[in-house]
Amino acid sequence: MYSLPVASDGRGGRRGGDELQADGGTLANERNTEAIVRDHLKNHGVDGMVVDEQIPSIARVKAALKEASKRGTGVGKPEFIVTFVDALNLIIVVECKADPKFHESAGRDRPADYAVDGVLHYAAFLAAKKFDVVALAVSGTSANDLRVSTFRQLAGAPAAELLPSPHGPVDRLIPVAEYRKLLDFDPAVRARTQAELMAYSRKLHNFMRDYAKLSEAEKPLIVSGILLALKDRPFKHSWRDFDPEKDLAPQLFGAIERTAKAADFRERKREIMLAPYAFITTHPELSRVSVGGNSPLFDLIDGIEQEVAPFLDVYNDVDVIGQFYGEFLRYTGGDKKGLGIVLTPRHITDLFARIANVGVNDVVVDTCAGTGGFLIASMAIMDQQAGVDAAARENIRKHQLIGVEQQPHMFALAASNMILRGDGKANLYQGSCFNLEIQERLRDGVKGQHSRPTVGLINPPFSQKGEGLHELDFAEALLDVLVPGGTAVIVAPMSCAIEVNHPVRERLLKKHTLVAVMSLPNDLFSPVGTIACAMVLRAHQPHQHSPQPTWFGYWKEDGFVKTKDRGRIDLNHTWPAIRDEWLAAFHGRSVVPGRSVARKVTATDEWCAEAYMETDYSVLSQSQFEATLRRFAVFQLLNVTEDESDDLGATD
């Protein structure tokens, strides 16, 4: 629906905003600006959107603007007023100026003369009447030189602010759906809400254990399945009407099927993805109705719709499924080491993508994809660089993210994760990264789907038994499919760095360059006791020809602390500064005593900072020195031999 009521000045002309402009040339030029905005709203609108020009068609909006004239008396008449039939308290208001020099005044206190001043003037009136407002100031007469400022003023807020966005300032016209999404984006709210979400995961885990009787593998699947089903509009609007005992489970599975089909997966891939969800229709406890009349499945859908779906809709750069899975493993022990599954913490997936310097034109692959955490972290960084370019972000999702996962239930989680983020043609392969057909597809690229990857990020299964399943075998398989000069960042147990006789090390360095190795925090994967490192390698460039030594970083303190109920968290909010310090040191290859060192190494050398790093005595305090001496003295006393003890006694 698109309505265009026009305010007339009584002479067949148009009024510019809520004041008459005498300069015919200026008025005509401003019509060009309005035409650009009008066309944009038509071409990039959403269903249920109503666009009014100057005179609102909704009584509440008209009442809010009845005394909002920019001249101080009379009715306020913005160039455009956008309202929504499904969000009655949301308004997008637009003010236009022909000349960019009248875009914004120094004090923002001349609403009749400047675009920013005017739109903020209107936003204040609307917010005072309990509307959430997106305010657009647009100046210029050509789409190529348009100047745009975008603000947000939430209902009741005393002042407007720049519209928050993970992509930086919104300085161009973007699709209307993006304005709606960004209206709720807030970094502070995100941090608080994510903590609340993880607290909810504990409650959810206990409910699934005690009432739904779900296995460890089924718990994350039911969460992802419900989120997928809620993407299906008919199910979302009608699920409460289904019989919780007979109809709800099959209807839920049907909604998952429809969502997967809409994602345009190939039929075979869709079958593989859907198979792990089949338990939903047959599980005896999920549909068992209690005395209150609801089933555990009903309560699960209700809780996830209220607690999880809204977060994912706004903050889709967070691997919510992966975090829930990690939380479920932490509470119960799960399969933590049975399959070598050690999920990578979110701050590390983001760190590795930044170490690899992932860019908007890269093609990123994770050949041990798990729930897709590395792909989601890379997508977030690429999205940020793409900014509000919707076409670039769509291309990222369709052609620049590739995953390989062997375990069927993990593949289902990875596929659902990408669908929930708008990845309509997820380039996911179900199978082993050692499969020759998959390797060929990755190495050669697939026309219309993806090209050969430029960046690889993996956390391979740890401690696998069998020939060819060492962590470095996974690293070698990844490097072989990357473009020459491509970057691989690999999580590996520290044993891979110090196991000098393993044959894969020699093969790796014969074909590829060991750029850097960083020793990671000892309790990074708590409660699993594996001590890990990060290896950075450059593909298809033999190590012996590298003009630079390998850089070793001692990255043991990430600022995270272990808590009883929430695992390792950035309790004191120090991680961003630590991350930036680490990245600066890595990219600058700085050598600092006690923190980093550079060495020429071979396959038979240890690959860790601890083997070569000098102690930085400048940071050693007197109290630390004395404490170390006391510990050494106690050690000596507790470990003396019997003869030494006799000698000591004889001297008394």
What does 589-635 look like in DSSP terms, one character per residue? T---TTTEEEE---TTS--SGGGTPPP-GGG--HHHHHHHHHHHHHH
Q: What is the pLDDT of residue 645?
A: 37
The answer on pLDDT for 172 being more than 80 is: yes
Q: What is the pLDDT of residue 192?
A: 56
- Asked if residue 160 is part of any domain, the answer here is yes
Other CB atoms within a 10 A radius of the CB of residue 410 amount to 26
Closest Cα to residue 100, out of 51, 44, 168, 30?
Answer: 30
User: Could you give the CA distance from residue 140 to residue 166 in angstroms, rounded to a whole number?
Assistant: 26
- Asked if residue 162 is part of any domain, the answer here is yes
The total number of structural domains that make up the chain: 2
- Asked if residue 303 is part of any domain, the answer here is no
Q: What is the pLDDT of residue 425?
A: 52
Identify whether 527 is preceded by a cis peptide bond (ω within 30 of 0).
yes
The answer on pLDDT for 405 being more than 50 is: yes
User: Could you give the CA distance from residue 302 to residue 488 in angstroms, rounded to a whole number?
Assistant: 42
- From residue 121, how far is each of 95, 172, 532 by CA, in Å? 10, 21, 55
Q: What is the pLDDT of residue 569?
A: 84
Q: With pLDDT > 90 as the criterion, what percentage of the chain qualifies? A: 56
Q: What is the pLDDT of residue 346?
A: 85
pLDDT tens by residue, 439-483: 999 999 999 899 999 999 999 987 666 677 889 999 999 999 999
- Asked if residue 585 is part of any domain, the answer here is no
- Asked if residue 88 is part of any domain, the answer here is yes
The answer on pLDDT for 6 being more than 50 is: no
Could you tell me the pTM of the whole model?
0.71
- Asked if residue 140 is part of any domain, the answer here is yes
Q: Which helix (H) or strand (E) holds 479?
A: helix 471-481
Q: Compute the average pLDDT of residues 107-131.
A: 95
Q: For the ranges 316-325, 470-479, 537-546, which has the lowest average pLDDT?
A: 316-325
The answer on pLDDT for 521 being more than 60 is: yes
User: Could you give the CA distance from residue 71 to residue 240 in angstroms, rounded to a whole number?
Assistant: 51
Q: What is the pLDDT of residue 255?
A: 96
The answer on pLDDT for 644 being more than 50 is: no
Q: What is the pLDDT of residue 291?
A: 67
CATH number at residue 83: 3.90.1570
- Asked if residue 249 is part of any domain, the answer here is no
The answer on pLDDT for 576 being more than 60 is: yes
Q: What is the pLDDT of residue 466?
A: 67
Q: Compute the average pLDDT of residues 211-233.
A: 90
User: Domain boundary residue among 168, 184, 200?
Assistant: 184
Cβ atoms of 70 and 19 closer than 8 Å = yes
Q: For the ranges 80-94, 338-352, 598-612, which has the lowest average pLDDT?
A: 338-352
Q: Compute the average pLDDT of residues 587-596.
A: 94
The answer on pLDDT for 26 being more than 60 is: no
Q: Kind of pairing, strands 550-554 and 596-599?
A: antiparallel
The answer on pLDDT for 638 being more than 80 is: no
- Asked if residue 91 is part of any domain, the answer here is yes
The answer on pLDDT for 386 being more than 90 is: no
Q: What is the pLDDT of residue 188?
A: 60
Furthest-apart CA atoms within the chain: distance in Å: 119
The answer on pLDDT for 436 being more than 60 is: yes
Q: Compute the average pLDDT of residues 90-98.
A: 95
Q: What is the pLDDT of residue 417?
A: 83
| Residues 128, 132, 133: CA angle, nearest 5 degrees | 90
Name, of 22-31, 345-354, 564-573, the range with top average pLDDT: 345-354
**DSSP 8-state code for residue 230:** T
Better-scored residue on pLDDT, 200 or 279: 279
Token pair in block for residue 37: 């905005």
pLDDT band at 306 (very low <50, low <70, confident <90, very high): confident
pLDDT band at 190 (very low <50, low <70, confident <90, very high): low
Better-scored residue on pLDDT, 162 or 72: 162
User: Domain boundary residue among 184, 212, 239?
Assistant: 184
Better-scored residue on pLDDT, 209 or 330: 209
Better-scored residue on pLDDT, 452 or 206: 452
**Structural domain range at position 625:** 620-652
**pLDDT mean across residues, the chain:** 85
The answer on pLDDT for 339 being more than 60 is: no
Q: What is the pLDDT of residue 468?
A: 75
Better-scored residue on pLDDT, 122 or 323: 122
Q: For the ranges 167-181, 234-248, 448-462, which has the lowest average pLDDT?
A: 167-181
The answer on pLDDT for 79 being more than 60 is: yes
Name, of 16-25, 207-216, 275-284, the range with top average pLDDT: 275-284
Place of tokens 């994912």: 312
Could you tell me which residues come within 8 angstroms of residue 200 by beta carbon, excluding any fewer than 6 positions away?
303, 307, 308
The answer on pLDDT for 3 being more than 50 is: no
Q: What is the pLDDT of residue 460?
A: 92
Cβ atoms of 28 and 13 closer than 8 Å = no
User: Domain boundary residue among 184, 207, 225?
Assistant: 184
User: Could you give the CA distance from residue 137 to residue 4 in angstroms, rounded to a whole number?
Assistant: 20
Q: What is the pLDDT of residue 642?
A: 41
User: Could you give the CA distance from residue 194 to residue 323 in angstroms, rounded to a whole number?
Assistant: 10
Distance of CA 649 to the CA centre of its chain: 66
Q: What is the pLDDT of residue 11?
A: 29
pLDDT band at 144 (very low <50, low <70, confident <90, very high): confident
Q: For the ranges 1-15, 348-362, 488-502, which has the lowest average pLDDT?
A: 1-15
